Structure 1
Amino acid sequence: MRDTARTSVEGHQARLLGQAKIRMLFVAAVFMVGYLAVSLRLVDLTLLRDTQETQTTQSAAADKDAPRKPARALRGTITDRNGELMATSLRMASVFADATVVSDAAKLAKQLAQILPEEKEKELFTKLNSKRKFIWIARNIPPRQMQAINMLGEPSLGFQDEARRIYPHGRLTSHILGYTDVDGIGIAGIERAYQKQLAEGEDDLRLSIDLRIQHLLHRELGAAMKTFSAKAAIGLVMDVRSGEIIAMVSLPDFDPYHPAQASDEQKFNRATLGVFEMGSTMKLFPVAAALDAGIASFATTYDAREPIRFGRHTINDYHAKRRVMTLPEVFIHSSNIGTARMAQSLGDGGLRDFYKKLGFLERAPIELPERGTPLAPRPWREINTLTASYGHGIAVSPVHLARAAAALTNGGILIEPTMIYDETRSHEMKGARVIKTETSQRVRDLLELVVAGGTGGKAAAEGYGVGGKTGTADKTLGKGYSKNARLSSFLGVYPIEAPRYAVLAIIDEPQPTKETYGYATGGWTAAPVVGKVIEQMAPLYGIAPQSGPKRDIKAEMARYLKDSKEGKNIATAGTDR
């Protein structure tokens, strides 16, 4: 009986213990569910709700005029030929407002004006009081301003990620790169020309530009503008074998971050869009045409004793020699009369056809959208042959001039100019032959003579063989020409014994100085720019200075020159028209 009673008690205790355990598990489960519920609520309040509210605010603020969009791929990067950054994009925030839920427009406008110094309080108030569901307040703001606006806790404001274009070198490359609008669309320059490729953001763009040479050219042209109180300046450096543009400068330039604040004059790319009557630098081309056609040699003479009278036109020389001159003398003395007679010898349409072959009668084939159309006589009459021979009556761009000069000095091949780098391009010249190889050598001899004993002496670079041609053209004024406004230029090539680069400098409306003895011609204003650029560029490009005896081109050409000293006197007199 005792055993039975004890067994009954133990069973009852076991049942009580089991019930207690079940109750404890139930209570624990209730606490766990409660804890989980609280945790989920906290997550909802701190994370999900914030995100939901932000999306709700942005969705409410965005209407059909500015739909909420996912962040686009960043616009492609642009570099120079050495991989140096020229243009890139950064993610930045833009702030917008739903003016229908702004409670105090005046107060909010004042707060935003303090955070956004570039925005005017009055204009902000007008936006915030417009009752429009979506209105931009500011685009591409820095993180500090975004944080300050966020701290206002204003439910009517929202942010959208956008990209801002960055130009590390600012004005230096403004005419090359151009710029984009606030929506990242290319408006000018390379940005516009390669809009599709850059917008996709998949491939970077590598230009032929060398920023080191761009700096050199920009600095020297800027200094010349200041020295001669000039209106503008233009410069180009081109690889005569590949057609690659190594540097391109057009002054005045502009700030690509604020293109709307720039004048039309500043945004005008004179190097490709501008067309000018180039003056005596154009004399290179009728000379080459005559030599190549076999109707002239260095021994051929031209009567420059009297002006040429053609109807109501009279063609004179700036400092007339009033004598019969050989072809090299016509070139180094820059005789208008002699050059016109040379052009006449090419026959009807001969010079026009040669100019067409060089591309002077159509827009230059370069990637930039800003390309000027040459101005040429139509119909082309005999008087036009005479005046176009010395650069009057026909207007071309600086790119036209550099490209044609490259063809005449690289062995005779006309290469298309390009702004895009291609490492394979420099290994072979691809283009149409415009003159014979031997004619190209004769042209180089004449260019070297101009620097050694003619009007281009100030382009000489110590240790390097330089050839070139000066030019000074009176600018057009109405139906005639101004006597007080001129375009002074120098077109240089180096090393002249085996040309690699053409360097062009143009000074627009330079004023004479005491140091130039009252002259403002190409030999005094533009030639020194070219010489300085070559002296600094050549070592950077591993072009060794000349060693051994220097070629005496004047001695070699002495039999064609009446007085070898005369050329040096011309450089002093500035007779490069």
Structure 2
Amino acid sequence: MTIVSEPASFLQIKRSNPRVVRGSVSSSAVKSRVYVAMLAFACVYAAIAGRLVLLAQMEEAPSRAWISAQDSVSASRPDLIDRNGEILATDIKTASLYAEPRRILDVDEAVEGLIRVLPELDEGLVRRRLESGAGFVWLKREMTPHKAEEVHNLGLPGIGFLSENQRFYPGGPTAGHIVGSVNVDNQGLAGIEKYIDDEWLADLQSLGFASNRTMEPVRLSVDLRVQHVVRDELVKAMDRYKAIAAAGIVLDAKSGEVVAMSSLPDYDPNDRSQALQKDRLNRATGGVFEMGSVFKTFTTAMALDSGAVSINDSFDATRPIRAAGRTITDFHGKNRILSVPEIFIYSSNIGTAKMMLATGVARQKEFLGRLHLTSRLKTELPENAAPLLPPKWNELAAMTISFGHGLSVTPMQTAVAAAAVVNGGTLLPPTFQPRSEEEAQALGKQVLSADVSRMMRYLLRLNVLSGSGRRADVPGYTVGGKTGTAEKIENGRYVRNKRRNSFLSAFPMDDPRYVVLIVIDEPKPERAGIGATAGLNAAPTVAAVVRRAAPMLGVMPRFGKGDEPIEISY
């Protein structure tokens, strides 16, 4: 057998060429597949990353909104209590309804269910909120447990509740103008509620130190029992005399503490919408009025303190006074010379104006400023009105101011000035917080002499025994006081048939502890044939308050005393 051998080069080419061809095709295909795979993986990872970013962005807004809402509803407030520990305001837990629109599966179903349970909701507004795509929206705040359970039973995805603190006022409107109110986020809007926010609570809340924490209660000087008495008697007086408004204050003359303060019409702080009605303003500290003949108390004290007038002096009240085209007359003139006590108990405008003239216009302005009757009086309440002063404090203005016209002040200013007149001459800044007599004396300012204060107590008691304040007398309590009947101003003119009546009083007059001021706006005659002056309505209202409140305040009656004026030396 013959074997034919091929050339080596041929064999090498035959064996290697197929390899070269196959290797070249395989490498290109592999590289293409690798690139495709890498691109696919990159696309997948990019899609995942994009989705994560999108989800992160979607969650960021609801997270912040939910946290903000949670912080808001968890803010706590301290209890407000009266001087005896009775609760005036406290926090209670309540449920508030919210939605996360991005988790709502069926908006129509959700709207239908919510409106069925809560028909007071605005259907259009609810639908817009649920369709908004927001992360968090409120639907209804401060729900009752029964309604919250009904909504819960609907089983709607994306609908939930947050437990929040709701302010509750057990006494309702009893002390509404004192405690004030809060908004839906538990932030103070008025009264003591706003005061404690401004003083320290808002700072604690902003720092996160007031969330779900039990705080020490804030004690007030108010006595809830006396507060109820004052408000109750004002309600009765408004009904009896068909008045449009009324106000009452009980002030501790030795410490300056406000024991009770009421202004009608008032409001229930549990229904904060009532506070927005214009007729429900706090007239005791937030309204200014001409106080009428009550101001004769301060004019007489000024005249006696100046030394220009003594209690033994007399003034001619025979004829009216003509000044700058105006005529000053007496309501029930005696048309004769009157002594200083007679001027006071007969409430003579002529005699009072002449006492002022004997003292001087400059002295009057200085003395009323000394009693804090010409500048804003500050209390813990934010509602403190500034007095309205005459545009020109000339002789005519001074004469009308002497008997209570031409200068408008708050009832609280009047009560504080009266406390200085009867307590020995010390002006004490008023407070709605407890204060000892020692603390009060450190803050007090002597504004008139103790001798003049003693004379004024004599005149105030004499007026109840023999003057226009006889219906304010309460056996055993030696009440003293002064009536005030001021005609109201409409369109720049005094209106004779519209009056604002007041009675300024203190008891017991031998050592006054409490000042009581009652103001009745536009009272009508109790029955046909009688008048509607302060002695017929404000004075008996004071008597009713003293009769009920004095035992609560620890002032016991002393029968057999007080039938005669207190003794003074002059």
> What TM-score results when the alignment is normalised by the length of structure 1?
0.82
The correspondence for 2:403, drawn from 378, 390, 413, is 390
Question: Following the alignment from structure 1 to structure 2, what is the Cα–Cα distance between the partners of residues 506 and 314?
Answer: 27
Q: In the aligned structure 1, how far is the partner of 2:351 from the partner of 2:461?
A: 20
Q: Alpha-carbon deviations, 1:38-82, whole Å to 9, x = none?
A: xxxxxxxxxxxxxxxxxxx99874555873545645211100000
Deviation at 1:258, TM superposition (A): 2.3
Q: 1:359 aligns with which of 369, 372, 397?
A: 372
1:467 maps to which residue?
480
Tell me what 1:437 maps to: 450
Q: Match of 1:102?
A: 104
Quote the offset at 1:151 in angstroms.
2.5
Report the equivalent of 1:216: 229
| Residue 203 (structure 1) aligned with residue 205 (structure 2) | no
The question of 1:172 aligning with 2:145 is answered no
Q: Quick check: 1:235–1:504 contact (8 Å CA) kept in 2?
A: yes
Distance in 2 (CA, whole Å) between partners of 1:526 and 1:301 is 29
In 1, Cα distance between equivalents of 2:560 and 2:527: 38
- Correspondence list, 1:127-526, <5 A: 127-195=129-197, 196-199=199-202, 200=204, 201=210, 202-423=215-436, 425=438, 428=441, 430-514=443-527, 517-526=529-538
Q: Which has the larger radius of gyration?
A: 2
- Report the equivalent of 2:68: 67
Q: Deviations over 1:213-262 (max 9, x none)?
A: 00000000000001111110000000001000000000001121222244
- Shift of the 58–90 alpha-carbon distance from structure 1 to 2, 3 Å rule, reads farther
Verify the 8 A CA contact 1:61 1:156 in the aligned structure 2: no
Deviations 1:311-333 (A, max 9, x none): 12111111111111000010000
- The structure 2 residue matched to 1:84, chosen from 79, 83, 86, is 86
Instruction: Give the C-alpha shift of residue 163 in structure 1.
Output: 1.1
Is the partner of 1:67 in helix, strand or coil? helix
Q: Does 1:531 align with 2:543?
A: yes
Q: Supply the AA of the counterpart residue of 1:543.
A: V
Report how far residue 265 of structure 1 moved.
2.6
Distance apart, 1:495 and its partner CA = 0.5
What's the secondary structure of 2:127's corresponding residue? helix
Q: Is the 8 A contact 1:61 1:158 kept in 2?
A: no
**What's the CA shift for 1:482?**
1.1
Structure 1 portions without partners, runs of 5+: 1-56, 561-577
Letter in 1 for 2:534: G
Taking the aligned partners of 1:400 and 1:164, their CA distance within structure 2 comes to 34
Judging changes above 3 Å, is the alpha-carbon distance between structure 1 residues 312 and 66 closer, same or farther for their aligned structure 2 residues? farther
CA distance, structure 2, for counterparts of residue 266 and residue 206 of structure 1: 29
- Equivalent in the alignment of 2:3: none
Give secondary structure in 2 for the equivalent of 1:345. helix
Contact 1:192 1:369 in 2 (8 A): yes
- Aligned-pair CA distance for 1:118: 4.1
Shift, 1:551, TM fit: 4.0
Is contact 1:61–1:134 with CA below 8 Å preserved after alignment? yes
Distance 1:426 1:545, change over 3 A: farther
Kindly state the Cα deviation for residue 469 of structure 1 after the two structures are TM-superposed.
0.3
Partner of 2:564: 552
Aligned mates of 1:61, 1:151 — CA distance in 2: 24
Is the 1:191–1:198 contact (alpha carbons within 8 Å) kept by the matching residues of 2? Answer: no
Count of residue pairs the alignment pairs up: 501
**Alignment check: 8 A CA contact 1:96 1:137 kept:** yes
Indicate if the aligned counterparts of 1:403 and 1:416 stay in contact, CA closer than 8 A.
yes
The answer to whether the 8 A contact 1:254-1:266 is kept is no
Deviation at 1:484, TM superposition (A): 1.7
| Deviations, residues 423-458 of structure 1 (Å, cap 9, x unaligned) | 465784641101111110100000001100110011
Contact 1:333 1:454 in 2 (8 A): yes
Quick one: distance in 2 between partners of 1:470 and 1:294?
25
CA contact (8 A) 2:81 2:220 kept: yes
Cα distance in 1 for partners of 2:337, 2:271 equals: 57
Could you state the TM-score of these two structures normalised by the residue count of structure 2? 0.83
Over the matched positions of the two proteins, sequence identity in percent amounts to 41
Cα deviation code 1:496-552 (max 9, x no counterpart)? 11100000000001111326x331111111111110111111112222211445442
| Distance (Å, rounded) in 2 between the aligned partners of 1:157 and 1:349 | 71
Distance verdict in 2 for CA 1:368–1:425, change over 3 Å: farther
Cα distance in 1, alignment partners of residues 85 and 429 from structure 2: 23
Q: CA deviation at 1:409?
A: 0.1
> 1:540, 1:126 → 2: CA distance?
57
Q: Which amino acid aligns with 1:439?
A: V
Is the contact made by 1:238 and 1:244 (CA closer than 8 Å) also made in structure 2? Answer: yes
For residues 257 and 127 of structure 1, do their structure 2 counterparts lie closer, same or farther at Cα, with a shift above 3 Å needed? Answer: farther
SS at match of 2:405: coil
Change (3 A) 1:112 1:362: same
Q: Secondary structure at the match of 1:302?
A: strand
Change in CA separation of 1:119 and 1:255 when aligned onto 2, cut-off 3 Å: farther
Shift of 1:263: 4.5
1:184-230 CA distance string (max 9 Å, x none): 11111111111153454533211000000000000000000011111
For the residues of structure 2 that align with 1:523 and 1:310, how far apart are their CA atoms? 29
Q: For 1:59 and 1:137, how far apart are their aligned partners in 2?
A: 21
